[in-house]
Amino acid sequence: MSAVEVRRTLGAHGKEVIRRMSSFRMSEVAAR
């Protein structure tokens, strides 16, 4: 994989990853 391809995939999945991370943090805080 070239650097450009990696950047494209990160750009496409970056928002989804951030969304999952934030929702995971929220649920973890709510569990406490």
Q: What is the pLDDT of residues 5-28, one digit of tens each?
A: 888 887 777 788 888 988 888 888
Report pTM: 0.39
DSSP structural state of residue 30 = H
Tell me which residue range forms the domain holding 9. 1-32
Q: Which two tokens stand for residue 13?
A: 């999945």
Angle at 25 between CA 21 and CA 28, to 5 degrees: 140
Q: Residue 7 has what pLDDT? A: 84
Structural domains in the chain (count) = 1
Spatial separation of the C-alpha atoms in residues 22 and 27, rounded to whole Å: 9
Is residue 32 over pLDDT 80?
Answer: no
